[in-house]
Structure 1
């Protein structure tokens, strides 16, 4: 929800312990339930003034969900207001809460108990239910811009709740966003603050956890600038991970025990990068410069993991990184 190109003004919420109890305690009594009149003086700065919703109190509490769900929605709205993250379209918030309710019911049927928090369900699950709800109402899928808007809202609500309201370390999350998580080491005036590193799409799992360790150490030790760390995560997802998956290297970081065989793997990787498979568009292959940079980054990654083998095995929980 943060406006592009502008870092948010962080409130006391960013300096408070990242647990649900600590964050919920910050919310003033008048903001603890998701019930708003969007054109009232206290709410108009956080809501877009949709004419269909003016002049009445609106309850956005997700139906048939544990009470905490409503308070989590209310916390997010309050945070948007206090941190000036961005204005919320009430129609999309209502749709988002409908999706939360449907996802909660689905989770309960599948697991035999209700989830304790919205974060017990993935953002992709929430989005799936949002799209199904739209299709059921309108007998068609939403237009592209509408889908982008609801995706943006759901992902931001889920990300802020996941980061600010759990006690997980910053590197344990699959999305590293400087605007959401001030614990991530960064320069005082980071020019690339609006770039996010996304680790969730990196497959196989052993590669994702290896990249997580590599980038965590590199960022903390200032071995990489933030923009470089983001680019490394993209490289792992778009190229190295896809190559490893396509060639069956799904379970073991040790790609080959014999040095000659290992060199052949990297030769095959370079050849794959020159093929149409490596490009998002078959008619536009990777340039020689891009291929060279990708191979170089991959070599740096593996050299780092070899040099820190024991620490990598301990941090990732994958013993073969220490082989």
Structure 2
């Protein structure tokens, strides 16, 4: 096998004594060296026969895959591999004679014997990472089994693994070594293989929830003595009891990372884990004859209908969307402005107080402006803009403020057949143009000659072929630091952890709904197939309105508590939105079927209610009323030579309104923004005279 690998190498690399002056100019970009140095030489011949060819082949293969070869680290690795083989002759012949961890321990021991101390951590990490990379490349080349039978699936090393054209986790490997027992591991690998090839699963799903869920089950059954067979138990009752035990086990697991670390798994997570297992067993039941033949395991033939449905309806818990205080997912205007006004710090040089990454700066700008998912922006094509078909006869400059000038095509990898374009303005086009220019200037020298970048935002390292998008881990880490540095707080004083970039998507959707954009338009803009998800943002909007409404005490014109439950009042007003009852300073509570005989005298009507949200309008109205009274009295005196008497009909009405406004404002300023502890609204100021008169009339009627 080594001979065939050696033969496929280009002549200039087919040597055990590689010198830089023998390589092409384009080849040299694959090697990490001191740019001020005269060149480099890598002497693979220090190693025993065959091992020297293996390491030379790995060096070429790293460069071919678009990686960068760390010359100094590789030299050190070759030197200490040779010293290790000298101490352990049984390891000579091939790098595959021992596992990477065994090589690392032996290399550290050889280093200590010759230097009197263990190597430093930095040295060990660099040499160890290069060793593991070479080992993985060789392992993939030597392993002639079908790709799905390999214990490690690495799409970067094996193009046979089915991937989508733009796979978010296409650079991630999936490891199966820890899956035990063996019958389960092989079955899971075959299940993943068939599901990937038929499109039932995507690589992101396999590398994420599916692999994790089945590992939980594997760890659980591996702890049984004896380990159960593929059919688990002999009878349906035994299988049911066995699966109920597993369900109890999953519900007792503790979250190991994230904000809920140390807490039990959420019902949503429990449902995901057990559903993945049930889906696997349903697949194996449906394909039991094929599985028994392909996997050479007759035990799969013993699966029956009771394996296809491991739990009864409702036992796994409901798979509901976590509508976790979605209002807290929306970034308010003040916090949003603070974030965007400081976004330049992401791109500023570190020595100047910034975080030194212009790509993350522009990624965040596009995420915030467009509401796209972070993966959709991170994986934009190099040329993501499409022309905008304009209406005939349209006028105005194409780059006018806020005008749409193009369509942005993004990678819709989450929802099949969902919209994948969105209208954008000239500012977004400028951000994209600047990113292209920056990439050509700063990353272009690292690319192989003649390479056309695949993505707009590109990874810095191991990307000579310019075919890897910007890594998500780096975005998360940088934005976490940025969020802590800004310490942005919302109106309630809560820290805005905008490093969870999905909050910008919530904010964009809610702002569109706030602006009155029709639901079906928001649905298409957000890339949703159905209005179900869009409605969640609409619910968030309604919830926000209701929360703001319930936040204040409600008062009438006499300054007393309104004897109506706040939520009932909110529902009533929402159900009865009529243009003839819209008031600038409060709400009209007159029933729909009754006619209003008050005209504009709302402030003297007991059907009037208001709260502190109208204070600015109420104070303005009070000032204007007093000003109107003064002007009218002055005009009356100038025309008649007499002062307007207090019993003047017009003056009495305006005075009553002014006094009502005073009582309303005093009451609201005393209660402030306080929320009722019992959930009831507070009645306000307005018609004390009428209320007292009604009470006196009622008492008069009750007298004998």
TM-score by length of 2: 0.38
5 Å matches for 1:238-317?
239-248=216-225, 250=227, 252-276=229-253, 279-280=255-256, 283-317=262-296
CA distance in 2 between partners of 1:41 and 1:198 (Å): 36
Considering Cα pairs closer than 8 Å and 6+ residues apart, tell me whether 1 or 2 has the greater RCO: 1
CA drift of 1:20 comes to 4.2
Q: Is residue 98 of structure 1 aligned with residue 98 of structure 2?
A: no
Aligned to 2:212: 234
Contact 1:50 1:90 survives alignment (8 Å): no
Cα distance change, pair 182–301 in 1 and its aligned pair in 2 (3 A):
same
Contact 2:44 2:78 survives alignment (8 Å): no
Aligned to 2:201: 224
Cα distance change, pair 141–265 in 1 and its aligned pair in 2 (3 A):
farther
Comparing 291-300 with 163-172, which one deviates more in the overlay?
A: 163-172
Aligned to 1:321: 300
Of 69, 72, 83, which aligns to 2:65?
83
CA drift of 1:82 comes to 2.7
Contact 1:103 1:121 survives alignment (8 Å): no
CA drift of 1:184 comes to 1.0
Comparing 218-227 with 278-287, which one deviates more in the overlay?
A: 278-287
CA drift of 1:208 comes to 0.8
Q: Is residue 154 of structure 1 aligned with residue 131 of structure 2?
A: yes
CA distance in 2 between partners of 1:292 and 1:309 (Å): 25
CA distance in 2 between partners of 1:260 and 1:308 (Å): 23
CA distance in 2 between partners of 1:83 and 1:169 (Å): 21
CA distance in 2 between partners of 1:309 and 1:21 (Å): 41
CA distance in 2 between partners of 1:187 and 1:104 (Å): 47
Q: Is residue 59 of structure 1 aligned with residue 59 of structure 2?
A: no
2:238 aligned counterpart, secondary structure? helix
Aligned to 1:28: 10
CA distance in 2 between partners of 1:93 and 1:317 (Å): 46
1:75 aligned counterpart, secondary structure? helix
Compare CA radii of gyration and give the structure with the larger one.
Answer: 2
Aligned to 1:12: none
CA drift of 1:224 comes to 0.4
Of 190, 199, 209, which aligns to 1:213?
190
CA distance in 1 between partners of 2:218 and 2:277 (Å): 11
Cα distance change, pair 58–160 in 1 and its aligned pair in 2 (3 A):
closer
CA distance in 2 between partners of 1:147 and 1:61 (Å): 23
CA drift of 1:55 comes to 5.5
Q: Is residue 182 of structure 1 aligned with residue 159 of structure 2?
A: yes
2:32 aligned counterpart, secondary structure? coil
2:174 aligned counterpart, secondary structure? strand
For 1:20-56, what per-residue CA distance to the aligned partner results, in whole angstroms no more than 9, with x for missing partners?
44432121233123433469865643332269x9766
Contact 1:47 1:90 survives alignment (8 Å): no
Contact 1:100 1:126 survives alignment (8 Å): no
For 1:49-106, what per-residue CA distance to the aligned partner results, in whole angstroms no more than 9, with x for missing partners?
269x97663313463x3x2221111111112223322332532553266348747975
1:210 aligned counterpart, secondary structure? helix
Cα distance change, pair 148–254 in 1 and its aligned pair in 2 (3 A):
farther
Cα RMSD between the aligned structures? 3.2
CA distance in 2 between partners of 1:31 and 1:41 (Å): 8
CA distance in 2 between partners of 1:233 and 1:94 (Å): 36
5 Å matches for 1:128-143?
128-134=105-111, 136=113, 137=115, 139-140=117-118, 142-143=120-121
Return 5+ residue gaps in structure 1 as ranges. 1-18
CA distance in 1 between partners of 2:75 and 2:111 (Å): 13
Contact 1:274 1:286 survives alignment (8 Å): yes
Contact 2:137 2:157 survives alignment (8 Å): yes
CA distance in 2 between partners of 1:301 and 1:288 (Å): 20
TM-score by length of 1: 0.77
Return 5+ residue gaps in structure 2 as ranges. 303-704
CA distance in 2 between partners of 1:240 and 1:138 (Å): 46
Q: Is residue 71 of structure 1 aligned with residue 53 of structure 2?
A: yes
